[in-house]
Amino acid sequence: MCSGQNAGAARESGATVRVQQEGFRPRVGILGNAMRLGLAQLNSTVGDLEGNRRRIVTMLQDARGQGVDLVLFPELAITGYPPEDLLLRPAFVHQARRELDAIAEECVEITALVGFPELDRDLFNACAVCTGGKTTAVYRKRYLPNYGVFDEHRYFQSRHELLLLQLGDSLVGPTVCEDIWQPGPPATDLALAGAHVIANISASPFQLGKGAERERMLATRARDNACWVAFVNAVGGQDELIFDGHSLVLDEEGEIVARAPAFEEALLVVDIDTASTVSQRLRETRRRGLVRERGGPPEATVVDLGTAHATPDDVDPLLAPALSELEEMRRALVLGLRDYVRKNGFSDTVVGISGGIDSARTAALAVEALGSEHVVLVSMPSRYSSTDTQHDARLISETLETRFLELPIEHAVESFAQLLEDPFRDTEAGVAEENIQARIRGTLLMALSNKFGWLLLATGNKSEYSVGYATLYGDMAGGFALIKDVYKTDVFRLARHLNEQAGRELIPVSTIERAPSAELRPEQRDEDSLPPYEDLDAILESYVELDRSRDEIVADGFNDEVVDRAIRLTDRAEYTRRQAPPGVKLRSKAFGRDRRLPITNAWRP
Amino acid sequence: MCSGQNAGAARESGATVRVQQEGFRPRVGILGNAMRLGLAQLNSTVGDLEGNRRRIVTMLQDARGQGVDLVLFPELAITGYPPEDLLLRPAFVHQARRELDAIAEECVEITALVGFPELDRDLFNACAVCTGGKTTAVYRKRYLPNYGVFDEHRYFQSRHELLLLQLGDSLVGPTVCEDIWQPGPPATDLALAGAHVIANISASPFQLGKGAERERMLATRARDNACWVAFVNAVGGQDELIFDGHSLVLDEEGEIVARAPAFEEALLVVDIDTASTVSQRLRETRRRGLVRERGGPPEATVVDLGTAHATPDDVDPLLAPALSELEEMRRALVLGLRDYVRKNGFSDTVVGISGGIDSARTAALAVEALGSEHVVLVSMPSRYSSTDTQHDARLISETLETRFLELPIEHAVESFAQLLEDPFRDTEAGVAEENIQARIRGTLLMALSNKFGWLLLATGNKSEYSVGYATLYGDMAGGFALIKDVYKTDVFRLARHLNEQAGRELIPVSTIERAPSAELRPEQRDEDSLPPYEDLDAILESYVELDRSRDEIVADGFNDEVVDRAIRLTDRAEYTRRQAPPGVKLRSKAFGRDRRLPITNAWRP
């Protein structure tokens, strides 16, 4: 629709030559092949179209101030990702378009790629090219993910079309998220059509190790296509998803030239020079055969953005360090909680603290995310609570410097026992009685939440959520289940990591070393009812995340009775997980958007 | 893969001519154009592959006993629909294939179309043609729905291919569910390729009025393509979905020849004769132009099934009567509950009975679905419960002849008040105190559920779930929220309908006529906090089900403050609905699979 339009006409001409950034690999700048890129790693809020627009404009102005030629904003930056069924509301989509128009007006002396939902007869997950005060072209996402946590076929139509942005002598080909995960087109076609840079705007959700996986994949794309890759990712928490940022620029040999920090907003500015790309393509002509075979290069719409900007100085590109797995976990949990609290308009949180490791871990993370003054810890001992755990509960609160309430539940437990004396006559005490205690605590915490507007954080971990060892409406009660995707064994590792980082016992060693217990009956220990957590967690990882069958897991060397038991418990607890609060997704398959099983399910694997 | 294979070779030859069924339209039988169809409206259980196979074989034998030539089973009949992420487990898909093979072995002297997941390099939602003791051909679904409650792009690949089954002189073209909802191919292509009958195997979920909508659509397909349509639908409840059966056979003029009953299993047997189709196509040659324009008929694989069976007598096809909307609602709720209880291995249910209309309605439906002996009603009065409602609670239990428990919660309420006296000092009593009562009741009911294995039925209606007027972990507690998709105004209509049907006051008139109240504080009335239900429900229908904007709803003539309030309350309650139990979907958009909104959502419509 806008091929050949000279969108850069309003720009000042006479851009001078820039010398490339040093420090990682020397390059020689060639007139017209250099450009300054900005990767705006934005934390949008889903639905806050006006606020997102303001944040985009602020970053745009910052980028222009730094002499950036082309600034990239994430996929659906205007709406936040994923907007889910808000996309089915015409008013929402129209408003998003108006915000895009307002952003485009600000795009003078700079070009921006901005993700937005485009309604043009059908709905597209689109990348707007904003320059010269208006939207000059639109690229529409070709590959729509509809697996794992994604449902893009529910909302979007796709298009097969290539767009090339001419900036000086360089050609930049925009793509959207999933497009770049495909080994073939559009990346391969863009390169064959002449692109020197593939720009990818993403909202790529985090899971452990995802950053490294993306780096490997993008390096392959860069090398395969002999072109630069500029990948900008969203950052922030949205319900159970975390976007980790970790935006990247790679050169045509797949070397990482710049890496934005993970888990925080950033504007990554980097100078690139495509002269070496031109040179490499003249040397290595292996790809020419492909073009010859198809009878010519793929068709593409070319939009002229004019010459690149004059930039007085070179920037020193950031190469943020990669993080360890435990540190990734910690940062993801902190960001996820902070954004859930902030974006939902909460100020304070409340956590039931038992003196056990899970609630201690949750409390420590809440303090890190929000500050001590925004965390209230409530100890609710019963006759089964040991003096050790009660002591640790108080100690944790003192160490973390939070508010602390103690509400002994014994009297409430008795009132239930009296009420149920008649119906429960001649039955043996068991899960029913244990759950009453957990639910009295849930009711107390929810009362505090309702009264004071505190967000209640549920404290269960992934091992418990798997096998149904957390109590529905009891310790599963709350608005956010922070560590529901952290296996028990990882809860211990994280607790030690947190103490190491802090250089002191944020979480008492006694809490870490005590045998886990729900303390709902005398002398109770988790391992009386459950397999040792080392085994259990390994089995769960096979069953829940890898969809391995019972026989395959047994063949891995686990005791068959233990495997059968773990699977049976996990299947049976499906209905409780459906009623669980959201929590931070950390692994390849969290309980939530990415594991969709029927409750009514007679399949026994 | 099996074109031209004479799969009918093992059949006895020399089929005699059948005279067509009379009563609706006289037809003259022509040698080779008649066949007897069986539509096996099956109630599969998701995951129960072995049990589903047994049920299929039983119906198959029944059909053969009735001289059926071709019997149709629903989409994914072997796995149940929707199997969701069970489809990601190789062991599950392999087992489904083994069950199909076992079914095919039984297909002697009869041909069956059976829905199953086919793993052949990729996964397909497929229709097996089983005849002569084996699977002779497979048709793969072309259109995969991925909207509303559907997620088929998550699981399946699709194929563009046509299959024709030659039975005597007639050609039958199989399709799967969504395929027939498309006005174009495969239905149009099948007809152009020569099909006289389009067979459609479906798992088409129910919503109010869906049966009539399907009839209109199928009549159009039949007329447009001048061919018979045989539509078999699954029946039964699966979590929140109901499949209503309502299988149909329509002739080439779009007249309904046979209709199976809704909401129950059935084998619909009907004789058809395609001679009139042949005749009509010779007379009306409008469609010939389409074939000429494309240079010939669409390519199709033809499988020969031999001649049609000898049948001694004509069958009188069933034309089950259409149901009123209220009756559809009642039958869907009863089936949904019965199947949830049965398929999840429960025997008894428990309902908290307040003397109000919602819990009375839930109790009466439970008794209808399961019998009085499987329903326990528990009254849990507080100081705010009126003598009228307490009296009605007992009266309902007597009328419905259920077990009845009375557990006054006053003492438990006091114990919470004492516990919270200090933290709540100098605050005004409000929602926090009200919710404690609801949660004490939830805790008592869950204790009974845990102790005795009774399924707890939550009693909230759609109006309450929309605006957050039900208490999370209180009256929202339970395994199944039966009437969560019934607006309050419909709860009243249904109650009257139920009494009319029963010819007596199953639900006391006093319960129907009393002003609704949650009875959580003195003199409380729903309409103190909420708009009148007539207005509220109309606004909710616009906002929740039709995605209409605030301005559009105001333009419909509703007070703007009321609209703003209803929308604000509905948006704010999203996190509570995420933690709600499943319930029976009745409307175009229920809270559950078909309304997927972010919790973190700053959009204000």
pLDDT of residue A20: 33
pLDDT of residue A524: 84
The CATH H-level superfamily of B34-304 is Carbon-nitrogen hydrolase (3.60.110.10)
Q: Report the candidate in B181, B180, B57 with the shortest Cα–Cα distance to residue B130.
A: B57
Choosing among 3.40.190.10, 3.40.50.620, 3.30.420.40, 3.40.47.10, the CATH entry for A325-526+573-578 is 3.40.50.620
Q: Report the candidate in B164, B86, B89 with the shortest Cα–Cα distance to residue B129.
A: B164
> Is residue A194 a contact partner of residue A171, using CB atoms and an 8 Å limit?
yes
pLDDT of residue A166: 96
Q: Give every residue of chain B whose pLDDT is below 70, as ranges.
A: 1-31, 310-313
Please measure the distance between the N-terminal and C-terminal CA atoms of chain A and give it in whole angstroms: 54
**Ranges for all domains in chain A classified under CATH 3.60.110.10:** 34-304
> Is residue A510 a contact partner of residue A504, using CB atoms and an 8 Å limit?
no
Q: Which residues of A557-571 are buried (b: 16+ CB within 10 A; e: fewer)?
A: ebeeebbebbbebbb
Work out the pLDDT band at A515, boundaries 50, 70, 90: confident
Residue to mutate among B338, B446, B570, B599, with most A CBs inside 10 A, is: B599
Please measure the distance between the N-terminal and C-terminal CA atoms of chain B and give it in whole angstroms: 54
Work out the pLDDT band at A10, boundaries 50, 70, 90: very low
> Is residue B479 a contact partner of residue A575, using CB atoms and an 8 Å limit?
yes
Task: For the sheet with A375-379, list strands across it.
Answer: A403-406, A375-379, A349-352, A455-458, A480-481
Determine whether the interchain pair B446/A473 forms a contact, defined as Cβ–Cβ distance below 8 Å.
Answer: yes
The ipTM is 0.91
Work out the pLDDT band at A285, boundaries 50, 70, 90: confident
How far apart, in whole angstroms, are the C-alpha atoms of residue A74 and residue A513?
44
A564: distance to nearest CA of chain B, Å?
15
pLDDT of residue A283: 87
- The bridge status of strand A111-120 relative to strand A70-72 is parallel
Determine whether the interchain pair B239/A599 forms a contact, defined as Cβ–Cβ distance below 8 Å.
Answer: yes
CB atoms within 10 A of CB A313: 10
Q: Which position has the higher pLDDT, A77 or A18?
A: A77
Burial of B53: CB neighbours in 10 Å, binned 0-12, 13-18, 19+: buried
Angle at B245 between CA B240 and CA B246, to 5 degrees: 130
pLDDT of residue A25: 36
Residue to mutate among B431, B448, B451, B594, with most A CBs inside 10 A, is: B451
**In the predicted model, is pLDDT for residue A482 greater than 50?**
yes
CB atoms within 10 A of CB A532: 12
Phi-psi region of B171 (alpha: psi -120 to 50; beta: other; left: phi over 0): beta
B45 to chain A: which residues are within 8 Å by CB?
600, 602
Active-site option among B107, B130, B177, B227:
B177
Choosing among 3.30.1780.10, 1.10.490.10, 3.40.50.300, 3.40.50.620, the CATH entry for B325-528+573-578 is 3.40.50.620
Residue to mutate among A436, A444, A603, A604, with most B CBs inside 10 A, is: A603
Active-site option among B141, B462, B488, B589:
B141
B410: distance to nearest CA of chain A, Å?
10
CA-to-CA separations, A364 to A389, A459, A514, in angstroms, rounded = 16, 12, 18
pLDDT of residue B31: 59
pLDDT of residue B33: 87
**In the predicted model, is pLDDT for residue A7 greater than 90?**
no
Least confident of A294-298, A423-427, B37-41, B107-111: A294-298
Q: Which residues pair with B558 in a beta bridge?
A: none
B153 to chain A: which residues are within 8 Å by CB?
146, 153
Least confident of A139-143, A274-278, B250-254: A274-278
How far apart, in whole angstroms, are the C-alpha atoms of residue B361 and residue B392?
13
pTM (2 d.p.): 0.92
**In the predicted model, is pLDDT for residue A519 greater than 90?**
no
Q: Which residues of A450-466 are buried (b: 16+ CB within 10 A; e: fewer)?
A: bbeebbbbbbbbbbbbb
Determine whether the interchain pair B603/A412 forms a contact, defined as Cβ–Cβ distance below 8 Å.
Answer: no
Determine whether the interchain pair B600/A151 forms a contact, defined as Cβ–Cβ distance below 8 Å.
Answer: no
Q: What is the dihedral angle through the alpha carbons of B116, B117, B119, B122, rounded to the nearest 10 degrees?
A: 140
How far apart, in whole angstroms, are the C-alpha atoms of residue A4 and residue B151?
41
DSSP A18-75: -PPP-SSS-----TTTEEEEEEEE----TT-HHHHHHHHHHHHHHHHHTT-SEEE--T
B146 to chain A: which residues are within 8 Å by CB?
146, 151, 153-154
Residue to mutate among B49, B579, B589, with most A CBs inside 10 A, is: B579
pLDDT of residue A363: 97
Closest in B84, B238, B547 to A88, CB measured: B547
Question: Would residue B134 show up in a list of annotated catalytic residues for this protein?
Answer: no
CA-to-CA separations, B81 to A152, B30, B75, B100, in angstroms, rounded = 22, 39, 8, 16
Q: What is the dihedral angle through the alpha carbons of B467, B471, B473, B479, rounded to the nearest 10 degrees?
A: -70
Determine whether the interchain pair A603/B92 forms a contact, defined as Cβ–Cβ distance below 8 Å.
Answer: yes
DSSP A292-323: HHTTSPPP-EEEE--SPPP-SS-----BPPP-
The DSSP call for residue A544 is I
Work out the pLDDT band at A528, boundaries 50, 70, 90: confident
pLDDT of residue B524: 84
pLDDT of residue A286: 83
> Is residue A63 a contact partner of residue A266, using CB atoms and an 8 Å limit?
no
Give the 3-state secondary structure of residue B577.
helix
Determine whether the interchain pair A411/B409 forms a contact, defined as Cβ–Cβ distance below 8 Å.
Answer: no
Phi-psi region of A31 (alpha: psi -120 to 50; beta: other; left: phi over 0): beta
List the structure tokens of A232: 């900008």
Q: Which residues of A are catalytic?
A: 75, 141, 177
How many Å separate Cα A175 from the centre of its chain? Answer: 20
A48 to chain B: which residues are within 8 Å by CB?
602-603
Work out the pLDDT band at A33, boundaries 50, 70, 90: confident
Q: Which position has the higher pLDDT, B165 or A316?
A: B165
pLDDT in tens, B204-256: 999 999 999 999 999 999 999 999 999 999 999 999 999 999 999 999 999 99
Work out the pLDDT band at A317, boundaries 50, 70, 90: confident
Q: Which residues of B512-531 are buried (b: 16+ CB within 10 A; e: fewer)?
A: bebebbbbbbeeeebeeebb
Q: Which residue has the tokens 């009958």?
A: B197
A23: distance to nearest CA of chain B, Å?
42
Q: Which residues of B260-269 are buried (b: 16+ CB within 10 A; e: fewer)?
A: bbbbebbbbb
B580 to chain A: which residues are within 8 Å by CB?
579
Percent of chain A predicted with pLDDT > 70: 94
Determine whether the interchain pair A579/B575 forms a contact, defined as Cβ–Cβ distance below 8 Å.
Answer: no
How many Å separate Cα A447 from the centre of its chain? Answer: 31
- Mean pLDDT over the full length of chain A: 92
pLDDT in tens, B526-555: 888 888 999 999 999 999 999 999 999 999
How many Å separate Cα B373 from the centre of its chain? Answer: 27
In sign, the C-alpha dihedral spanning B515, B520, B522, B528 is: negative
Closest in A51, A84, A595 to B85, CB measured: A595
